[in-house]
Amino acid sequence: MRTIISLTCTGIVVFALVGCRQSEMTPTELLAVDFNAGTVVRYKLVSARDIEVNLDSTGSTLKGGRSKPQEMSEKVVFVIAYKPVVLDPYGLSTIEGRCESAKVTRTALVSKPSARDAAESLVGQTFTFQISPAGRIKDYSDLKALIRRLGDKAFASTTGRQGRIKNPDMISDFSALQWHLWDSIASIEDAVAGVAIGQSWKAKQFIPLPMPIPAARETTYTLAEVQKTDSGRKAVITSSYKLDDSRVKNWPSPYTGSFNMKGIFGFLRNFKFRSLEGTGRQIFNIDSGTLQSEEQQYKVHIDAGFMMPLGDTVPTVTIDQKISIELLGQ
């Protein structure tokens, strides 16, 4: 794949010399996602968050006493292996992903243990997608079907007077990690022109949440530096995040029909996002076309309401989110 992209880039540069001198051009790095025939690329993908729910952020009293913030945490660790099924250096290649392991740990707001997390049902599941050399996934149909099947497993086996009850799950974490895995490359506006050190570009990404509502962040990527190592030239790409108020497109909802949520989020409604802020850092091997590692951390602040109003109390939700990606081998 990389050979074809390089030839295309060279052809454009030669054409551009008709109107300008090469010596005046800013040096750029060509960033492209690459897969090799017969090679499996394996990643450890981690999404973890600490959640604080304050049912009385105004400082008033509920039932005669001041409420205390309720805290919980949840974490999922995936190991997913990717192998090329069809390689097309001129266009779209077909990649198969296989989840080798998925483990969820959770400290709940109540002591009663939750049912097995539906995200753990990913183990042994395979999915395919098509991807361009620029890292843009073009066909999500198989992924969406898989996510919908996972969503079916998130509901309690019995239905009571309250209707269908959805257990806590981290399906959206898998969705966000997979949808945006190569966004640092895919969101470059002119991939053939390359990226200069110090150059920035933006991407819109949906974020994983403990409640099933669509929300997005605006991510700004910057090529901070290029390191020369024995294993190839490595791009250091930093990122910063802020809330994106526009409508989320192509959000893969895992659930169908109406339902109620189990736990504290079953009592809250009308979530309004106040802010999102955070930063990240990624290492991308330019020569092999491989994402090697990434760390992200951001905080989300949300206002909410009760299912039935309780005076002037304003519940708030604060989420401290951490995401990490590690290349295990190829």
What local confidence, expressed as pLDDT, does residue 7 receive?
35
The predicted-structure confidence for 228-249, as pLDDT tens digits, reads as follows: 999 999 999 999 999 998 877 7
Ordered DSSP codes for 188-232:
-S-TTT-B-TT-EEEEEEE---SSS---EEEEEEEEEEEEEETTE
Q: What is the pLDDT along the chain (330 residues), one digit of tens a residue?
A: 554 444 344 444 433 433 444 435 689 999 999 999 999 999 999 999 999 999 876 655 445 555 688 899 999 999 999 999 999 877 899 999 999 999 999 997 655 656 799 999 999 999 999 999 899 998 899 999 999 999 999 998 766 677 889 999 999 999 999 999 999 999 999 988 999 999 999 999 999 999 999 999 999 999 999 999 999 999 999 999 999 988 777 889 999 999 989 888 888 989 999 999 999 999 999 999 999 999 999 999 999 988 766 666 789 999 999 999 999 987
Q: Domain 2-329: which topology?
A: Lipovitellin-phosvitin complex; beta-sheet shell regions (2.30.230)
Which element (helix H / strand E) includes 172?
Answer: helix 171-179
Phi, psi of 5 (to 5 degrees): -65, -40
Which element (helix H / strand E) includes 96?
Answer: strand 93-107
**Nearest alpha-carbon partner for 210 in 261, 134, 147:** 261
What local confidence, expressed as pLDDT, does residue 317 receive?
96
Q: Compute CA distances 87 → 1, 90, 316, whole Å.
A: 8, 9, 48
What local confidence, expressed as pLDDT, does residue 75 receive?
98
What local confidence, expressed as pLDDT, does residue 69 receive?
87
Helix/strand/coil for 146:
helix
Phi, psi of 303 (to 5 degrees): -95, 150
What local confidence, expressed as pLDDT, does residue 191 receive?
87
What local confidence, expressed as pLDDT, does residue 55 receive?
87
Which element (helix H / strand E) includes 97?
Answer: strand 93-107
DSSP state of 322: E
pTM of the entire predicted model: 0.87
The span from the CA of 99 to the CA of 170, in Å, is 15
What local confidence, expressed as pLDDT, does residue 25 receive?
65
Give the dihedral of Cα atoms 280, 285, 290, 292; nearest 10 deg. Answer: -50
Q: Compute CA distances 91 → 59, 180, 185, whole Å.
A: 58, 20, 16
